[in-house]
Amino acid sequence: MDKKEIIEKQKKYLFSCVATYYDEPLVVDHAKDQYVYDAEGREFLDFFGGILTVSVGHCNEKVTRAIDEQTHKVQHMSTLYANEPQVRLAEKLAQITPGRLEKSFFTNSGTEANETAVLLAQIPQTARVNKKAVQAPEVNYQGDPQFQPIPQTSVARAVNTDKDIIKVGDLYYMCFQGVWFMARSATGPWEVAKTVPKEIYEIPASSPAHNVTYVTVVEDNDDEWVTYAAVAGYTGMMVAYGCVVWGSGWYYPPYVWYGGFYPVYYPFYPTYGFSAWYNPWTGAYGRGAAWYGPYGGVGASARYNPRTGTYSRSAVAWGPYGARGVGEAYNPRTGTYARTSQGSGVYGSWGATSVQRGDDWARTARTTNRVTGTTTRVTQGSGGGEAITRRGPQGNSGIARTGSGDVYAGRDGNVYRRGEGGGWEQSNGTGGWSSSAPAERAGQLDSDRAARERGNQRATDRGSWQSSGGTRSGASSYGGGGRSRGGGGRRR
């Protein structure tokens, strides 16, 4: 068929929703590597390839040869039966996946993958526990045990510990790693629970303790053993809107305690309502969240790119009188670290940015005065070079020096160097130097040089302090960990 006939048959036999976006669409005849050729033989560079062609190109010889060899053996086979290509791929995935992930389930993308994930999330994992041999974990409270009533129920939960402890009447139940324990006191002693009150399973999703409702007792028919079952909801994997999501979608405030020398902070994991995202093209994933109102707001985000190995995170806060923001990134493969912090207020703005890799580093700092309209910038490097520039309504000026420290660019646009006797010499523009700089300029050069040396010494002292493991006096430290113990949740 020629081009005209192909277009006519597409309009006749395909639904109109299969749009081509062009009055005269491209009719693709064949492709090779990164190029596509139309029915008239014209060559196009493919910027709109599918997932496979983006990774390996069109008609990749290695891929097409493997496909050809396989179709001559078996074209299609259910995963119910074992075959060599399937187990080879599963083995390779197990070798490159992190941690203990070594099991694979092959399926098509889209609906089948979603349905499989939902089924897996609903299949319980069981644990048969010896009542006499299994011991409960150590339970620590920040101060005296505190229990907060759970709305819509008759039970209460402990808020000042990192353990899931529920009070039902005069008894206390703790769910730890899919096993229930019971005690007659909030501090124990704890024993393996044979039964769990039905009131616990009425805890709503708006409560931070909702995840314990996914752990049940399925068998207790002797004096020695009890069997528990837990589905994926216990670990945070919930089924919502026909697919598996992370978390319940509710926001749970963290627990913060200031009763000791250091504050204690028990945060909750963020859920799918916190803008979790994944980019299948790059493999990058991250999270972000923002809270705002009529007078300002705050936001934070974190990102990881497995291709480059770069971790990054940022935070920002703003209000009617100014804003603050900070961001940092680190690549463990290259050892490169970068950081920036910016701020603004009623009278101006400021910022600083730095990057370091091993012993090589560079940093720049800026201040802007909104009253005068002047911006001053200082740039320094590990080689010893530095520059100071100033821009504003009155004009631009600057001074700089080389890494060796003996040549400077003055604010007047001329180049100077410090002689062996301590005096200043001015470049004549032809490669030579005059015997001395003007007296008024020499005084300014001495002042600038002294200021730079003081700044370099402060930077050196700070670097030595950091490398020796120093800490700021009075700096706060957040203790605790595990899962959060905040107040009731609210829907995002």
For residue 285, give every residue at least 6 positions away whose Cβ sits within 8 Å of its Cβ, in sequence order, or none. 276, 277, 278, 279, 303, 304
Give the Cα separation of 130 and 228 in Å (integer).
11
What's the pLDDT score for residue 263? Answer: 67
One-letter-per-residue 3-state SS of the chain: CCHHHHHHHHHHHCCCCCCCCCCCCCCEEEEEECEEEECCCCEEECCCCCHHHHHHCECCHHHHHHHHHHHCCCCCCCCCCCCHHHHHHHHHHHHHCCCCCCCCCCCCCCHHHHHHHHHHHHCCEEEEEECCCCCCCCCCCCCCCCEEECCCCCCEEECCCCCEEEEECCEEEEEECCEEEEECCCCCCCEECCCCCHHHHHCCCCCCCHHHHHEEEEECCCCCEEEEEECHHHHCEEEECCEEEECCCEECCCEEECCCCCCEEECCCCCHHHCCEECCCCCCEEEEEEEEECCEEEEEEEEEECCCCEEEEEEEEEECCEEEEEEEEEECCCCEEEEEEEEECCCEEEEEEEEEECCEEEEEEEEEECCCCEEEEEEEECCCCEEEEEEECCEEEEEEECCCCCEEECCCCCEEEECCCCCEEEECCCCCECCCCCHHHHHHHHHHHHHHHHHHHHHHHHHHHHHCCCCCCCCCCCECCCCCCCCCCEEC
Which range has the worst mean pLDDT, 38-52, 131-145, 342-356, 419-433?
419-433
416: pLDDT confidence band, cut at 50, 70 and 90? low
- More confident of the two residues 123 and 385: 123
Percent of the chain having pLDDT more than 90? 31
- 190-208 tens-digit pLDDT: 999 999 999 999 999 989 9
Is 33's pLDDT higher than 50?
yes
Is 380's pLDDT higher than 70?
yes
- In this prediction, residues 67-81 reach a mean pLDDT of 86
Burial-class residue 281 by CB neighbours within 10 Å (0-12, 13-18, 19+).
exposed
Is 20's pLDDT higher than 70?
no
What's the pLDDT score for residue 291? Answer: 73
What's the pLDDT score for residue 464? Answer: 45
What's the pLDDT score for residue 468? Answer: 45
Q: What are phi and psi of 221, to 5 degrees?
A: -115, 10
Spatial contact of 31 and 59, defined as CB atoms under 8 Å apart: yes
- More confident of the two residues 22 and 149: 149
Which range has the worst mean pLDDT, 206-215, 229-238, 335-344?
229-238
- More confident of the two residues 317 and 241: 317
What's the pLDDT score for residue 270? Answer: 65
Give the Cα separation of 71 and 1 in Å (integer).
27
- In this prediction, residues 232-240 reach a mean pLDDT of 85
> What are the distances in angstroms from CA 161 to CA 1, 34, 84, 115?
73, 58, 51, 37
Spatial contact of 121 and 244, defined as CB atoms under 8 Å apart: yes
What's the pLDDT score for residue 480? Answer: 30
Most confident of the following: 179-183, 251-255, 355-359 = 179-183
Is 221's pLDDT higher than 90?
no
What's the pLDDT score for residue 444? Answer: 66
Is 475's pLDDT higher than 50?
no
What's the pLDDT score for residue 114? Answer: 80
At CA 214, angle to CA 213 and CA 218, rounded to 5? 105
Is 210's pLDDT higher than 60?
yes
Question: Please, what's the largest Cα pairwise distance for the chain?
Answer: 103
176: pLDDT confidence band, cut at 50, 70 and 90? very high
Q: What are the residue boundaries of the structural domains of the chain, listed by start?
A: 3-71, 125-230, 282-287+296-467
The token pair at 148 is 């907060």
- In this prediction, residues 33-52 reach a mean pLDDT of 85
What's the pLDDT score for residue 76? Answer: 84
Is 228's pLDDT higher than 90?
yes
What's the pLDDT score for residue 368? Answer: 92
- More confident of the two residues 342 and 107: 342
CA 278 from centre of chain: 11
* CATH 3.90.1150.10 at 3-71, yes or no: yes
What's the pLDDT score for residue 484? Answer: 34
What's the pLDDT score for residue 121? Answer: 86
What's the pLDDT score for residue 428? Answer: 63
What's the pLDDT score for residue 482? Answer: 33
What's the pLDDT score for residue 354? Answer: 94
254: pLDDT confidence band, cut at 50, 70 and 90? confident
- 299-357 tens-digit pLDDT: 888 888 887 889 999 999 988 888 999 999 999 888 899 999 999 988 889 999 999 99
Burial-class residue 266 by CB neighbours within 10 Å (0-12, 13-18, 19+).
buried
467: pLDDT confidence band, cut at 50, 70 and 90? very low
- In this prediction, residues 254-274 reach a mean pLDDT of 69
What's the pLDDT score for residue 419? Answer: 65
Computed from CA positions of residues 469, 472, 474, 477, in that sequence, does the dihedral angle turn out positive or negative? negative
What's the pLDDT score for residue 479? Answer: 29
At CA 394, angle to CA 391 and CA 397, rounded to 5? 45
- More confident of the two residues 273 and 488: 273
Is 96's pLDDT higher than 90?
no
What's the pLDDT score for residue 269? Answer: 67
- 137-175 tens-digit pLDDT: 999 998 899 999 999 999 999 998 889 999 999 999 999
439: pLDDT confidence band, cut at 50, 70 and 90? low
Looking at this protein, which amino acid is placed at residue 63?
V
Which range has the worst mean pLDDT, 119-133, 164-178, 194-208, 284-298?
284-298
